[in-house]
């Protein structure tokens, strides 16, 4: 029964004129720092909007976190840092539609690899699998009929390798072109 519903939705999306259902395709690119841990996030992707308020994205994300050493009188703390390369799927909800200035909410999941930094404290190179879920929000600012600027913050929470827990919060700004 579910397969029939999925096929019906596919047929309706395929044969209804895009203007009648508000469908569009969007390409985007964004970059920005990460909160709490020093780092940089870069992302790019493509999205499909079945309505003016809902967009499904497939993205590639690269997040690099710098190694850190904190020393105090009686102790020292070492953070290895590293680079995450993730493929993500996300859903963005824009209550006012993508043609107006307004907020949006985003949620999704990501999977890929992490490559922890190699330095004098952590000399062994390694590659781990990484999985995460994320949620966040931001602001859309249309600059014309097809060009939009945006800024967002999101929180990734997940697992790295067999025992590591990941929490990364990138703050990004970017542009999107809607077809």
Give me the half-sphere count of Cα atoms (radius 13 Å) on the Cβ side of residue 143.
9
Question: Distance between CA atoms of 1 and 83, rounded to whole angstroms?
Answer: 43
pLDDT for residue 110 = 96
Q: Where are the alpha helices (DSSP H) in the chain?
A: 2-15, 18-21
Closest CA to 157 of 128, 129, 130: 130
Phi, psi of 95 (to 5 degrees): -60, -35
Contact 124, 146 (CB under 8 A): no
pLDDT for residue 4 = 58
pLDDT for residue 20 = 47
List Cβ<8 Å contacts ≥24 apart for 2-10.
none
- Average pLDDT of adjacent 10-residue blocks, the chain of 179 residues: 56 50 86 91 96 95 85 80 92 92 96 85 84 96 94 93 81 95
pLDDT for residue 2 = 60
Provide the whole-model pTM: 0.79
pLDDT for residue 6 = 53
Domain count, the chain: 1
pLDDT for residue 37 = 83
Q: Which domain holds residue 89?
A: 26-178
Question: Distance between CA atoms of 133 and 108, rounded to whole angstroms?
Answer: 6
Say which CATH number the domain at 150 has: 2.40.160.20
Assigned domain for 5 exists: no
């Amino acid at each position: 029964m579910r397969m029939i519903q999925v096929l019906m939705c596919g047929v309706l999306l395929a044969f209804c004129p895009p203007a009648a259902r508000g469908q569009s395709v969007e390409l985007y690119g964004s970059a920005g720092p990460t909160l709490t841990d020093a780092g940089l996030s870069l992302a790019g992707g493509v999205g499909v909007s079945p309505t003016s308020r809902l967009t499904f994205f497939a993205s590639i994300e690269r997040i690099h976190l710098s190694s850190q050493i904190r020393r105090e009188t009686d102790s020292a703390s070492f953070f290895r840092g590293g680079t995450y390369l993730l493929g993500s799927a996300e859903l963005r909800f824009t209550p006012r539609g993508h043609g107006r200035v307004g907020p949006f909410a985003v949620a999704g999941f990501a999977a890929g690899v992490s490559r922890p930094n190699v330095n004098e404290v952590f000399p062994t190179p390694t590659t781990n699998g990484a999985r995460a879920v994320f949620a966040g929000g931001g602001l859309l600012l249309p600059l014309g009929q097809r060009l939009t600027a945006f800024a967002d913050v999101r929180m990734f929470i997940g697992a790295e390798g067999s025992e590591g827990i990941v929490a990364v919060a990138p703050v990004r700004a970017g542009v999107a072109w809607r077809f």
